[in-house]
Amino acid sequence: MIKCKSPREIDLIRQAGAMVGGALNLSATLAKPGVTTKSLDEAVFKYINEKGGQAAFKGYRGYPANICVSVNEEVVHGIPDKRVLKAGDIVSVDIGVCYKGYYADAAVTVPVAGIKPETQRLLDVTRESLRLAINKIKAGIKLSEISAAVQIFVEANGFSVVRDLVGHGIGSAMHEDPQIPNYVDKDVTRVEDNIILKEGMVLAIEPMVNQGTYEVETLANGWTVVTRDRKLSAHFEHTVLVKEGGSEIMTPVMNY
């Protein structure tokens, strides 16, 4: 069941989203050579708590950290630790905030310093695929139009879309219906693909884009998802409100 949110609920999600956006800006500023992934986690924890929010990932299905930090071939759910970032790395930071019982969730992938042009292109294409998908969103479109927008742009640019992980509804829980794949299966139409978006729905759209194969696997720690061929992966995510004639990004991030 997809719940349409009341104005009060939307306001709380927007406030949670402002904290997510601020925490992502902070992370992007801090992600420099010599810094540990754990130090990003600690800085974000402090930032969110000072604003009156809670880091939503901590304890979610036993997740051990406040945020996810995924480096290079890590797709998502990298656990912050003593790993030191270095020039040439790309780092995906994924942050969820709960504020007065309402959730917002977003992610960016940033260069640590001096990345190759082809790596920059991966980041640009992934960010642009999210922007194109968001630009499609308004009351009355089919859910699968979001999925198709991401896939067509990503594949036209020679990259692949991760299939094992999806975007999601969000609101009074971090993961609500519907699931939002970033590709359309041309053989199987899911019931959800034909859902018509309505004003007040809030969706987390999150393309994960790989340089090589779309196949992924999970490391022995039970969390970190990596590309099967160990080539690079990028992830951008926004929490988006569906409106009549358009949408609103609830997790605004500077420069993204």
Q: Rounded to whole angstroms, how far apart are CA atoms 106 and 237? A: 5
Question: Do residues 194 and 145 make contact, with C-beta atoms less than 8 angstroms apart?
Answer: no
Residue pointed to by tokens 């036209």: 156
Answer yes or no whether residue 94 interacts with ligand MF3 by CB under 6 A: yes
Q: Could you say whether residue 41 binds ligand MF3 (CB under 6 A)?
A: no
Q: Which residues, numbered 150-179, are part of the site for Co ion (CB under 5 A)?
A: none
Give the interface size with Co ion as a residue count (CB under 5 A). Answer: 3
Grouping H, G, I as helix, E, B as strand and the rest as coil, residue 246 is: strand
* Residues numbered 196-215 forming contacts with Co ion, rule: CB under 5 A: 204, 206
Q: Is 74 in the site for ligand MF3 (CB under 6 A)?
A: no
Size of site (CB under 6 A) for ligand MF3: 13
164-193 binders of ligand MF3 (CB under 6 A): 168
Instruction: Closer to ligand MF3 by CB, 115 or 181: give it.
Output: 181
Burial 27-46 (b: 16+ CB within 10 A, else e): bbebbeeebebbbbbebbbe
* 236 makes contact with ligand MF3 (CB under 6 A): no
Alpha-carbon torsion, ordered 188, 4, 61, 189, to 10 deg: 0
| Footprint (CB under 6 A) of ligand MF3, residues 191-210 | 204, 206
Q: Which residues are within 8 A (CB) of 73 and not within 5 positions of it... i.e. 6 or more apart?
A: 226, 227, 230, 231, 232, 233
For 208, phi then psi, to 5°, come to: -115, 120
The residue whose Cβ lies closest to ligand MF3 is 57
Residue 70 or 160: the one with the smaller Cβ distance to ligand MF3 is: 70
**Binding test (CB under 6 A) with ligand MF3, winner from 47, 63, 159, 183:** 63
User: Does the protein bind ligand MF3 through residue 61 (CB under 6 A)?
Assistant: yes
Going 226 to 232 to 233 to 234, the CA torsion angle's sign is positive
Query: Helix (H, G, I), strand (E, B), or coil: what is residue 125?
Result: helix
CB nearer to ligand MF3: give 96 or 178: 96
89 binds, among ligand MF3, Co ion, none (CB under 5 to 8 A by kind): none
Instruction: Report the residue from 16, 26, 31, 68 that binds ligand MF3 according to the rule CB under 6 A.
Output: 68
